Structure 1
Amino acid sequence: MKRLMFIIGKNKIRFLWLSIAGFILDVIISMTNPLIIKILIDRGIIGKNVRFFVIFTLIAFLFFTLYRLGMLWYSLSFRKLKNITIKDITLKQLDAYYKFPYKEIIKNDTGHYLSRIYDESSAATELTLSTFSQLFISIAAFIGSFCVALYLSWRVTVILIVIIPPIYLLSQKFSAKITQKSKKEKSKEAKVRNLLGRLIDAYKNIKIFNLYDIANNKINDYFDKYLMVFYSRFKISNLFSTYSGILISSQELIILAVTGYEVMKGRMTIGGLMGYMNAFSMVVMNALAIVKTIPTLSKIKGDVNRLIEFRNIGNKVNQLSEKNSGNIKLNKLKFAYDSSKTIFSDLNFEAKKGEKILVIGDNGSGKSTFIHILLNLLHPSEGKAELYSIERISALTLPFYFIPGSLKDNVNYNNLSNERKDMFYTLLEKISLKGYEDKDPSSFSTGERQKCAIIMTLIKNADLYIFDEPIANVDKKSKDPIMEMILKYTERKTLIVILHGEEKYYKKFDSIFNI
């Protein structure tokens, strides 16, 4: 039940009312259907009362039509609930993703997180709500039909009770195994998606370097592992369903023999027999439906546990404390991505408020890692640091990604002050992007996207500005205006810029930090 509450979240009341409505509808239909059959046969057919038969048939037709319309409303309403819940869960998982430690983010590619955020959320929500909806309906129909079966013949119904203990024991035997297999299945599936995403991204290199065989072998191996776990879970679930089905089929034969004996003894009418068999078939059908949900409930437990684990990763973030002196200080910092890849063993750095610092270094020296430490996205294992919170920092880091929408959307134009709005249009004009403000940057050239990234970084009112190779990928005539623009609009603010080459700009900075 905890997993169900996790999935439905703020939609609890709506789910409750729909469940009650579905429960009532199925209790009513499961109780009235056998009784209608009994009455039609005993009083209409056997009693040869044509007038009663016709009138009662029309009433039954009207009743069943209203029931179908009620179920149509229920089905459509439940679909709406599913849609809303999928959106809510996905957005919550996305929000959790934004709280992840950056060190955790870079372990996997986009395909992995698409799977964890949307695919798993959608699948778990669909499965959970469909299963519990069907479970409540099956329980309602079971209760209704069982009560009618008791009313028509309590002797025969007692035999039904024999089936309950074996089914319960079977469910306990298989439940834990299915939960474990389901969780492992989702983990393997995410790895397959992760690998597929990387192979898709590597399209050009696979063709250029003829890596088809290696790529296919990699994905083939991952698929085998995933499908083996999937088959194992499927096998356990179906074994459980088969064993319980055999048990209930045996019960059906016994019931048929006993009801026939009751008719021959005169303790049950033909209409009662037909009504009882209808009630019994509903008891069996809904008992089977309830039994089949038990393995599914175990799978739901594993699926929802993965969603919970994903959401809890963000709680592990421990940001370095912010100091308000305005200076940035890193003292004897140690940082490693893992035990075999130490980036900094004794990093020391200081930037005074308003200072303009140029950062240089060879490829692989740790310039990007250094930037991400300043952004409070990567956290050293040792040392002391005085940093700004990310809310007080504006940064251009590579690669630079834009959210879907126009350039105005990306700078949050509607929330800018009038002064910043004027500045936005001034910057557009300065770097030849006038008229681009309502277009999606994803359609721009590489150089135009770089200019958009610079505008976004400058538009934010921050205390610290960081630019990672701001004039990379731009045309030669734009480099000087861009550097002048960066220096002008960050006056009296702390500025840190990474440049690769471009020595003519070095003298414009207060100091140079060589990593």
Structure 2
Amino acid sequence: MSPTPPSLSTRDLARWAARHLAPHKGLLAVVLTVEALAAATAGIVDPLLMAGIVESLTDGATGLFVRLIVAAVVVSTVLRGLTYVSSVVHRKLTNALTADLVGNAFESFSERAPAKVAAHEPGYHLSRIFDEPRRVAETVRVATSIVRSALLAVGALGLCLYLAWEVALGLAVVVPVLVALSRRYGGRVAAETVRGDEEEATLRSHVGRSVRGHVATQTFGLGAVVKRYVGGALDRLLATRYRRTREASRLRSASALFLSYAENLVLVGAGIQVLRGALTVGGLFGFTKAFWHVVGATRKLVDLLPEVATAKGQVERYLAYTTDAASEAPSPFHEADTPVTLLRDVSFGHGADALFEHLDLAVRPGERVLISGPNGSGKSTLARLLVGALAPTAGHAIVPPLASISSVLLPFGFPPGTVREYLQLDERSGVEQARILRLASRLGLDPFLDRDPDGLSQGEKRRVQVLLALTKRAALYVFDEPLSNVDARGRDLLMDTILEETEGAALLVILHGGDRYHAAFERHLAIDGGAVRETATYAGEADRPAAWGGGTRARRVRTPSESA
């Protein structure tokens, strides 16, 4: 379940924006300066030029008329230039903010507990890490449009008050009505934005799974099932977008209707002032142009109100994702600063689908444990519970911190990069570099160090996985089927290497069968039908059966008859 987004007031939203824009204050200052100049030019200079042009015609001042026309052309050119500069700098600012927000979201994802990541498909996290922060960053244009429209409205209104203050005061009734409408519909728009973004993330998750399972869908005729899930998520997404558009349209329509009434009343008042001789014809033209700037800017602000509500919902959802990793609510899973991993009365699954019920299991420091069982018995699930990659449905899992665990769990996904980049040799001591390169050479991976492992064979991938796990110094090592897709000679090499490099640490290995390697482990756990049985425990080396022969750490123990 996704965390509940925090509720932000308009002031909280402004503070959040100011904090994230502070590192880019230079670009922001350019944008705001350009917007202020554009607003002053359009709202004050342009109407005054109009008034002067009309007055010069009325008075027959041809020279003044020509100069004012030239000035009007210059002003128009300046406005177009400011618009261009604003557009370019806007994009720079938006790109910088996008990089910051996506980086923060990805960092939050990287610090998230494995069990929380596993609760959603990759497509869901892709939407939360990239799509949603990008949309939040794009709202910079909404904020600067508000600034420009507000400055334009204030400047033009000031000119209207200067030319005919009695008439302009009629616009004062507009503001409280618009505020009331915004409060009524803005919250609904924000709520639908949050729901819509969640449904979009879910849809991406379903589509991603559909792509990965395309062969199975065709093979087993699962098209109807896939369509039901994808179609259901799409229907819910479209429904939330419809409701958001409906509420935003109600806000715009009601605001525009009231504003049109106010426009007509003000124009009637201006006409009366001309008839009374209180306003000249030139003044009327200037007043009218300034007034239409006021009206246009106010309409723009009205149109932006739903966008503000949408931005509020997007920021709330972004904060829910980026703060969730740091403020995780108490759950049945928690970490402890101890290398012991312990399951206490753990259940996983529900009812008839429960895989484990009331399971108690401990792996002690330095202990070597072999888990075996048929396919689908829950071996991999048990391993994930023991390292905290899955949270139990009930009970408690006490595991070491992630820094003390090194694991290869299936399915294993390689992140972008080459094998050499994974090894991070430049960040290690000379001794560690030599040890890791020796391991790579022993596993036959020298030719593949500069390759992306996604392009390697299954056996080569398995060796890369084992190498990565062994490069990390850990208190607990976990390997899920490390010998699968490896030939017989390679299996012995991998097992020898694992046992040697993990000496002194707790080791948990999952094998399908694996009788050949039983002697290397102190405990054998067999899983079948949800039951975990301890089939063998060896108190010491002398108690163990014979090994596969030649294993460095699983030495063959002489039998009593041989000793005799």
Do these two structures clear the TM 0.5 threshold for a shared fold by scoring above it? yes
Give the deviation of 1:205 after TM superposition.
1.1
Q: Do residues 414 (structure 1) and 426 (structure 2) align?
A: yes
* Structure 1 residues 383 and 436, CA gap change in structure 2 (3 angstroms): closer
Q: Which moved more, 1:213-222 or 1:266-275?
A: 213-222
- In structure 2, how many angstroms separate the alpha carbons of the residues matched to 1:221 and 1:10? 36
Deviations 1:111-146 (A, max 9, x none): 11111221111112213x222111111110000000
Q: Do residues 348 (structure 1) and 361 (structure 2) align?
A: yes
Q: Which residue of the partner structure matches residue 395 of structure 2?
A: 382
Deviations 1:164-218 (A, max 9, x none): 3332332232222222222222222222222222212211111112222332233
Two-structure CA RMSD over aligned residues (Å): 2.5
- Aligned counterpart for 1:255 among listed residues 257, 260, 266: 266
The answer to whether the 8 A contact 2:160-2:290 is kept is: yes
* Structure 1 residues 297 and 170, CA gap change in structure 2 (3 angstroms): same
Q: Which residue of the partner structure matches residue 322 of structure 1?
A: 337
Give the deviation of 1:237 after TM superposition.
0.8
- In structure 2, how many angstroms separate the alpha carbons of the residues matched to 1:470 and 1:9? 48
The answer to whether the 8 A contact 2:174-2:262 is kept is: yes
* Structure 1 residues 388 and 183, CA gap change in structure 2 (3 angstroms): closer
Q: Do residues 91 (structure 1) and 91 (structure 2) align?
A: no
Give the deviation of 1:147 after TM superposition.
0.4
* Structure 1 residues 416 and 203, CA gap change in structure 2 (3 angstroms): same
* Structure 1 residues 251 and 18, CA gap change in structure 2 (3 angstroms): same
The one-letter code matched in structure 1 to 2:337 is: E
The one-letter code matched in structure 1 to 2:254 is: Y
Give the deviation of 1:427 after TM superposition.
2.9
The one-letter code matched in structure 2 to 1:184 is: R
Q: Which residue of the partner structure matches residue 76 of structure 1?
A: 88
The answer to whether the 8 A contact 1:357-1:496 is kept is: yes
For 1:237-386, what aligned pairs fall within 5 Å after superposition?
237-314=248-325, 315-316=327-328, 319-323=334-338, 328=340, 330=342, 332-337=344-349, 341=354, 343-353=356-366, 355-379=367-391, 381-382=394-395, 385=398
* Structure 1 residues 201 and 253, CA gap change in structure 2 (3 angstroms): same
* Structure 1 residues 84 and 78, CA gap change in structure 2 (3 angstroms): same
Q: Do residues 216 (structure 1) and 227 (structure 2) align?
A: yes
The answer to whether the 8 A contact 2:32-2:144 is kept is: no
Q: Which residue of the partner structure matches residue 13 of structure 2?
A: 3
* Structure 1 residues 267 and 383, CA gap change in structure 2 (3 angstroms): closer
Give the deviation of 1:312 after TM superposition.
3.4
- In structure 2, how many angstroms separate the alpha carbons of the residues matched to 1:338 and 1:411? 40
Q: Which residue of the partner structure matches residue 538 of structure 2?
A: none
- In structure 2, how many angstroms separate the alpha carbons of the residues matched to 1:162 and 1:312? 42
- In structure 1, how many angstroms separate the alpha carbons of the residues matched to 2:345 and 2:109? 27
* Structure 1 residues 75 and 217, CA gap change in structure 2 (3 angstroms): same
- In structure 2, how many angstroms separate the alpha carbons of the residues matched to 1:382 and 1:196? 34
Q: Which residue of the partner structure matches residue 559 of structure 2?
A: none
Q: Do residues 433 (structure 1) and 448 (structure 2) align?
A: no
- In structure 2, how many angstroms separate the alpha carbons of the residues matched to 1:176 and 1:185? 14
For residue 435 of structure 1, give the secondary structure of its aligned residue in structure 2: helix
The one-letter code matched in structure 1 to 2:318 is: L
The answer to whether the 8 A contact 2:142-2:307 is kept is: yes
Deviations 1:355-384 (A, max 9, x none): 332222343443323323332444554358
The one-letter code matched in structure 2 to 1:347 is: D
| Off by >6 Å, runs of 4+ in structure 1 | none
- In structure 2, how many angstroms separate the alpha carbons of the residues matched to 1:479 and 1:489? 15
The answer to whether the 8 A contact 1:376-1:389 is kept is: no
Q: Which moved more, 1:143-152 or 1:430-439?
A: 430-439
Q: Do residues 156 (structure 1) and 171 (structure 2) align?
A: no
Q: Which residue of the partner structure matches residue 200 of structure 1?
A: 211
Q: Do residues 40 (structure 1) and 53 (structure 2) align?
A: yes
Greater length-normalized contact order (CA 8 Å, ≥ 6 residues apart): 1
The one-letter code matched in structure 1 to 2:40 is: I
Deviations 1:280-333 (A, max 9, x none): 11100111111222222222222222222223332216633223xx6x253644
- Aligned counterpart for 1:442 among listed residues 450, 454, 458: 454
- In structure 2, how many angstroms separate the alpha carbons of the residues matched to 1:416 and 1:382? 39
For residue 203 of structure 2, give the secondary structure of its aligned residue in structure 1: helix
The one-letter code matched in structure 2 to 1:498 is: I
Q: Which moved more, 1:164-173 or 1:444-453?
A: 164-173
Q: Which residue of the partner structure matches residue 103 of structure 1?
A: 115
Deviations 1:60-112 (A, max 9, x none): 43344344434433332222221111121122222222333433322221111
- Aligned counterpart for 2:142 among listed residues 131, 147, 163: 131
The answer to whether the 8 A contact 1:101-1:316 is kept is: no
- In structure 1, how many angstroms separate the alpha carbons of the residues matched to 2:349 and 2:273? 77
Deviations 1:477-504 (A, max 9, x none): 4222222222222233332211111321
- In structure 1, how many angstroms separate the alpha carbons of the residues matched to 2:310 and 2:343? 49
- In structure 2, how many angstroms separate the alpha carbons of the residues matched to 1:24 and 1:122? 26
With the length of structure 1 as denominator, give the TM-score of the two structures: 0.91
* Structure 1 residues 289 and 373, CA gap change in structure 2 (3 angstroms): same
Deviations 1:262-285 (A, max 9, x none): 333332222222211111111001
Q: Which residue of the partner structure matches residue 491 of structure 2?
A: 479
- Aligned counterpart for 2:477 among listed residues 465, 490, 507: 465
The answer to whether the 8 A contact 1:101-1:317 is kept is: no
- Aligned counterpart for 1:403 among listed residues 415, 420, 436: 415
* Structure 1 residues 476 and 9, CA gap change in structure 2 (3 angstroms): farther
Identity of aligned residues (%): 25
Give the deviation of 1:17 after TM superposition.
2.7
The answer to whether the 8 A contact 2:47-2:290 is kept is: yes
* Structure 1 residues 361 and 213, CA gap change in structure 2 (3 angstroms): closer
With the length of structure 2 as denominator, give the TM-score of the two structures: 0.83
For residue 153 of structure 1, give the secondary structure of its aligned residue in structure 2: helix
User: Gaps (5+ residues) in structure 2?
Assistant: 1-10, 527-531, 533-564
The answer to whether the 8 A contact 2:35-2:144 is kept is: no
* Structure 1 residues 309 and 42, CA gap change in structure 2 (3 angstroms): same
* Structure 1 residues 13 and 258, CA gap change in structure 2 (3 angstroms): farther
The one-letter code matched in structure 2 to 1:6 is: W
- Count of aligned positions: 508
The answer to whether the 8 A contact 1:8-1:85 is kept is: no
Give the deviation of 1:247 after TM superposition.
2.0
The answer to whether the 8 A contact 2:341-2:386 is kept is: no
